[in-house]
Amino acid sequence: MAGAEQFRVRPLANDFVRVYESPDPNNIYTYSPGIVALPSGRLVATLDLSGSGIGNLPGPKQIIEHGQEWFGKVFVSDDQGRTWTHKTDFPFMHARPFLAGQSLYVIGHCNYLCIMRSDDEGETWNKTAILTESETWHQAPSNVHYANGNVYLVMERITAAMNGWPCSVMAPVLMRGKVSDDLTLRENWTFASELVFRDEIHDDDLNYFGVPFFSAVRGEKVSLTANTTRWLHPIGWLETNVVQFTDKDHYFHDPAGRTFHLWARANTHGTGYAAIAKVVENDDGTMTTSLVNAPSGKTMTFVPCPGGQMKFHILFDEKQRLYWLLSSQSTDSMTRAECLPPDRYNLPNGERHRLQLHFSKNCIDWCFAGIVSMTNSPKEARHYASMAIAGDDLVVLSRSGDERAANAHNGNFISFHRVRDFRGLVY
């Protein structure tokens, strides 16, 4: 046993710093951690808050999802994440910080798309600008890609009203902007065409993979058990990342450099799959979204992805030419719903307390690199995390909770973790 013990997997970064903690865990919840590492070494973190108690907090609140008030916060750290300083609040959610040229941006939505800019590394911020009107958008702080002097990222438009989680009617929209332009202006963004999951993928056409795992009613949410806290929603995609394959030997490689692939969380009721699509830049500058075909000609909707059932984050490391995947590890998704412990949130595939790390040459074959952080209770979450490269380390921001959290979904703090010398995990 002593010999086996030395090879047991141990968390890479279980120690953490609380960037923000809820003053009222039962009524104020912490969401949407996003992080970017600036060339100066400064770290910038974003998050948002909601819950019935946020009316007691100062901040520019807006009614957004579920008829609830939300608002966001920006923090910075100049000592490698040991301490964090609050800089500003913003009136939108699902925020994502990113660099473009000499400017720092935060993009998100308040139903319509919102963005704000800082030209002094987050010290001061301009007024929130509106990029769209009379539309409803969604996302999470997923990744950002740079190519040909442009920044690429995905936001998701909700194309129809639904009774429940609208991932079946979401269209992941790739957005492109020149890094030298003022990206608070709508005219400086190009939006790809829309592809709606429900319009393209039909449950009756899917077979042999157990997708969907449970029967869902088209356009409706239903209860999986007599306990109505375990809701079942129609399958779909959401929380989309963008990747580009520059390896000329990759089957998805485009020698013209005009093809980008979308890797999204797959709501299949099961685990281990991501949903995919692709976007091609046309000669006139427009971008067209479509499904992906295998060399056989068969349509590819789902691909293997550890933790693809939950929000994940993909990051490409130019130094080693590898993709890194930060996601939730599932261990008991085959437990009958009525047999799950009461602290377990929602469906059997919804485990949220084990944050895992993988690497890959091609986004299909993933090698396990380690557990970033985990807890011993399904209520005490480490999930919905974002990451960035800071020198030789990965810096990770997690949506987290402890024993005081309302549940695994509605956590009570945002935690910062550092995976040191992450490239040394490659084998």
Of the candidates 50, 36, 163, which has an alpha carbon nearest to the alpha carbon of residue 103?
A: 36
Question: What are the tokens at 386?
Answer: 């974002």
* Tens digits of residue pLDDT in 383-420: 999 999 999 999 999 999 999 999 999 999 999 999 99
Please tell me the predicted confidence (pLDDT) of residue 113: 98
For residue 66, pLDDT beyond 90: no
Fill in the DSSP letter of residue 403.
T
How far are the Cα atoms of 14, 31, 229, 355 from residue 375, in angstroms, in the given order? 9, 18, 23, 9
CA 252 to CA 153: how far, in whole Å?
19
β-partners of residue 314 are 325
* Tens digits of residue pLDDT in 171-226: 999 999 999 999 999 999 999 999 999 999 988 889 888 999 998 766 678 888 87
CB-based contacts of 366, cutoff 8 Å, min separation 6? 304, 305, 306, 325, 358, 359, 360
CA 374 to CA 143: how far, in whole Å?
23
Question: What are the tokens at 36?
Answer: 């970017």
To which residue do tokens 């590819």 refer?
300
Q: Mean pLDDT in the chain?
A: 96
* Tens digits of residue pLDDT in 1-59: 567 888 899 999 999 999 999 999 999 999 999 999 999 999 999 999 999 999 999 99
Please tell me the predicted confidence (pLDDT) of residue 424: 98
Which residue would you say has higher pLDDT here, 376 or 1? 376
Length of the chain measured in residues: 427
Please tell me the predicted confidence (pLDDT) of residue 5: 85
SS3 letters across 92-159: CEEEEEEEECCEEEEEEEECEEEEEEECCCCCCCCCCEECCCCCCEECCCCCCEEECCEEEEEEEEEC
Question: What are the tokens at 274?
Answer: 């991501």
* Tens digits of residue pLDDT in 123-150: 999 999 999 998 999 999 999 999 999 9
CA 383 to CA 396: how far, in whole Å?
11
* Tens digits of residue pLDDT in 88-112: 999 999 999 999 999 999 999 999 9
* Tens digits of residue pLDDT in 308-353: 999 999 999 999 999 999 999 999 999 999 999 888 999 999 999 9
CA 44 to CA 172: how far, in whole Å?
26
Fill in the DSSP letter of residue 248.
T
In the three-class reduction of DSSP (H, G, I as helix; E, B as strand; rest coil), residue 342 is classed as coil
Overall pTM surpassing 0.95 (yes/no): yes
To which residue do tokens 């790809």 refer?
192
Please tell me the predicted confidence (pLDDT) of residue 217: 64
* Tens digits of residue pLDDT in 230-279: 888 899 999 999 999 999 999 999 999 999 999 999 999 999 999 999 99
Please tell me the predicted confidence (pLDDT) of residue 203: 85
